[in-house]
Chains A and B, each alone.
Chain A
């Protein structure tokens, strides 16, 4: 309880509240601009958080991403362009509603159920994270090895639409992760005798490159002015929301649960959560034929899901240091920078910081109601921001941020190189998120494998001897079995098709 009251004091600091408000406005703007994602908002905040104490630094990221995921719904309905990939699943549906003259109802529904879904995800985070941390205190290298293996496997299984290309990206990330000093024997690998490469590919500059620079390259290929044609006129958005809540309360709950679980799974974030819960909603709907014609039901599911995924993603990030999505991959880097090394120990050493994060999550979700209303009302002005002003500003932030991470030009070089690589990959249909997961989990995977082998004197059986390790190991092997089954079925399907 001492930690909780300490957390209240930390959050009630006017500086922290100011940071929450400022980054909320920033997140609303970034989310509402098509092409700028919530991950990019986080990457752009890195140089700013560098100069902040831990609580405001985390507050900035939490508030900005919470707002950005909702704000992505606004241009989806008005322009048929998702503000962030998390709104892509129901962009057509939202736009169809707007065409039918239901823009107000659509935006009101998105706002209110984003708040509800967000609060649900946070509630699960608050309950589950400390419990899991207590269990994780007994984790040794065997358990962490299996967690890393499970995380890498999940990334391929659910995080991408094309598993083969996802797998290639993941291997690319793992390969890049081997650069630098080998975590077990301390031997330099792929450094070509340069001192800078001994630190490895620093992953925050790499992320800024992959997510921000590649986006800048994409938009500069098709440079244009602001967005002019905004559909419809916004009236009273909260009218009729009560009726929606009574009719679709189960969809809200289902979307929130799916969102939180998918958020907590490594590698998949808000965008996948929205796609899956939209599909689930259609599958179990009493009137699936209405989907795609401007029907509210699937939107309720998906808009709850993408916001609840945010809180869910923080669970593995805080407890195990395994990112639940690409946003928390950056968060883990920021935590290390602030000496709050993610893992169960942070719950013992700095519980007040963890509670402060929880409080800020709640605060940000509540703040979303008034700010979201304001954003909807001023959407036309926001969407008129010229991109040729925005893009150079983003580039400056990218350079400053990656310089700040390594205190040398090395970070900037990594960022630019990864940006160009990321752009080329995405243009050819290879997702970039698995690269980051490979980069973050690769070292964890290798190091825990090596230390486990040293501890067990080279016996593989030791990986199954401890009870939790045994369960995790069984689960991982089951996932691999699922891969093999799908591959075999795919092959026989192919044979049947060609025969």
Chain B
């Protein structure tokens, strides 16, 4: 954190003195970006989204030669930060990291904001959900667990991983529906995120946590939890021993938490092109790939058009799933 800040400070001093040497006229006409950028993050400092935003910010800073300040605007289940990105001036100096919640919150009636409220720039990451159980759980494979769930009465098994109607809740619902069960066959216990849910799992308060495997890593490494499967098309190279649902159960269901960069609607075309080029360069850099794979985070690229289509598709799927589960506001 300090590193970025100090570098930002030095860079802004350098930029200020450089600007001083230019004539007023050439400064006014200087190509974008001619001053520091703000990258808004709707989630707290230190989390996975924050870490991803900070590495992207640092790489953009190198490319643009302008400081990129990462600003956390947290709270309100992500509404506060997402709103700050959408309502910023569309000059390219305020952009932000939008997350999967933008395709979900408006179905719940929390906000009017939806994917079309933004100028999409790039998709950078996607993480599939996992299926975690307690370290000393009797279920050795995801098949054991699935059989036990099917045999048990509705509501006996309790699962957690995020708040009510959050992405990991929908992952559970999707998995249950793929097995031909009702969305509430396993009861959802809302939590303040993946870490408290994993702690409650280890303490024996709940049976299953459907967060992504990297989020559960600390408890898994400590031997207090184990991951039985991931809901993705392929295994995660960082967690090679964890099979996919398709391998274990023949269920081809996958949904993921994703993170991308977007700006407010109405960005000038040249500014947008410059941002996308910078993001593409950052995405392809060795620093970014190393950083993400070391943490077990998935990487996934989409340019503005593809990102918009990706969000639109996700928005419809989420809407349908939330309606089926009774989570959508009519």
B residues in contact with A14, CB < 8 Å: none
Residue B88 interfacial (CB < 8 Å): no
Per-residue contact bits, chain B 159-203, to A (CB 8 Å; 1 contact, 0 not): 010011110000000000000000000011111100110011011
Instruction: Count chain A CB atoms within 10 A of each CB in B79, B83, B155 and give the residue with the most.
Output: B79
Number of interface residues of A (CB under 8 A): 42
When the two chains form their complex, are residues B189 and A451 in contact, meaning their CB atoms are under 8 A apart? yes
When the two chains form their complex, are residues B203 and A140 in contact, meaning their CB atoms are under 8 A apart? yes
B residues in contact with A338, CB < 8 Å: 45-46
When the two chains form their complex, are residues A195 and B74 in contact, meaning their CB atoms are under 8 A apart? no
Given A137-B224, A186-B190, A200-B75 contact (CB < 8 Å)? yes
Cross-chain contact of A183 among B111, B192, B205 (Cβ < 8 A): B192
Which residues 14-62 in B have Cβ within 8 Å of A in the complex? 44-47
Given A53-B2, A183-B190, A195-B164 contact (CB < 8 Å)? no
Nearest residue, chain B, Cβ from A345: B199
Nearest residue, chain A, Cβ from B6: A51
B residues in contact with A199, CB < 8 Å: 74-76, 80
A residues in contact with B151, CB < 8 Å: none
Which residues 23-78 in A have Cβ within 8 Å of B in the complex? 51-53
Cross-chain contact of B203 among A137, A196, A451, A454 (Cβ < 8 A): A137
Residue A337 interfacial (CB < 8 Å): yes
B residues in contact with A137, CB < 8 Å: 199, 202-203, 224
Per-residue contact bits, chain A 184-200, to B (CB 8 Å; 1 contact, 0 not): 11101000000110111
Residue B158 interfacial (CB < 8 Å): yes
Number of interface residues of B (CB under 8 A): 47
Residue B309 interfacial (CB < 8 Å): no
Which residues 51-105 in B have Cβ within 8 Å of A in the complex? 71-77, 79-80, 83-84
What's the minimum C-beta distance from B41 to chain A, rounded to whole angstroms?
10
Residue B108 interfacial (CB < 8 Å): yes
B residues in contact with A349, CB < 8 Å: 218
Cα(A81)–Cα(B71), bound, Å:
43
Residue B208 interfacial (CB < 8 Å): no
Residue A180 interfacial (CB < 8 Å): yes
Residue A395 interfacial (CB < 8 Å): no
Residue A178 interfacial (CB < 8 Å): no
Residue B206 interfacial (CB < 8 Å): yes
When the two chains form their complex, are residues A140 and B205 in contact, meaning their CB atoms are under 8 A apart? yes
Residue B1 interfacial (CB < 8 Å): yes
When the two chains form their complex, are residues A348 and B187 in contact, meaning their CB atoms are under 8 A apart? no
When the two chains form their complex, are residues B158 and A454 in contact, meaning their CB atoms are under 8 A apart? yes
Cα(A181)–Cα(B190), bound, Å:
13
Residue B316 interfacial (CB < 8 Å): no
Cross-chain contact of B222 among A53, A139, A348, A455 (Cβ < 8 A): A348
When the two chains form their complex, are residues B199 and A53 in contact, meaning their CB atoms are under 8 A apart? no
Cα(A185)–Cα(B327), bound, Å:
10
What's the minimum C-beta distance from B82 to chain A, rounded to whole angstroms?
9
Cα(A52)–Cα(B5), bound, Å:
10
A residues in contact with B195, CB < 8 Å: 341, 345
Q: When A and B form their complex, which 9 residue pairs have the shortest distance between CB atoms, in order from nearest?
A: A339-B46, A199-B75, A198-B76, A140-B205, A140-B203, A195-B83, A186-B164, A199-B76, A407-B71
6 contacts between A and B (CB under 8 A): A185-B190, A195-B80, A339-B46, A339-B47, A349-B218, A406-B74
- Further pairs besides A345-B195, A451-B191: 9, Cβ < 8 Å: A139-B203, A181-B77, A184-B164, A186-B77, A198-B80, A451-B189, A451-B190, A454-B190, A455-B205
